[in-house]
Amino acid sequence: MSLRTLKNGIGVTIREAESKDAEKMIAFYNRVGGESDFLSFGEGEFLRPVSEYEVFLASVKQEQNSLIVVAEKEEEIISIASITSSQNPRNKHVGTLGIVVEKSYSGLGLGRQLMIELIE
């Protein structure tokens, strides 16, 4: 877990996602889905069951070359960033990077802070 300060002086917590975050993460994706045309889903279209997403988060946590982190302000998720990679030994160097930032926190350097966290 790390505390980061955004360009406007607001402090946020960045930490690895856990299974218990599944419901909040699904709600976050459904809320911000309508804020951008760059996501693969729209508002209310992230339709994964909580139990299924809990299992997904637990499995990613066990992978050596994958990571999902959440950024929180006062325990509310404001951003999610991930690198998920193949577990096939021949393709472990191939991965997918995603960063989703709530529109009201866009332009404050949060995406950069999340990228730094993923790299570290």
Region class of 44: left (phi > 0), else alpha (psi between -120 and 50), else beta: left
63-80 confidence digits (pLDDT tens): 888 999 999 999 999 999
Return d(Cα 27, Cα 3) in angstroms, integer.
23
Residues 51-63, buried b or exposed e (16+ Cβ, 10 A)? eebbebbeebeee
Amino acid at 2: S
Q: What is the reported pTM?
A: 0.90
Query: Is it the case that residue 113 has pLDDT exceeding 80?
Result: yes
29-62 confidence digits (pLDDT tens): 989 888 877 777 777 778 899 999 999 999 999 9
For residues 77-87, average pLDDT: 91
Please, are residues 1 and 15 in contact by the beta-carbon 8 Å criterion? yes
For residues 85-112, average pLDDT: 89
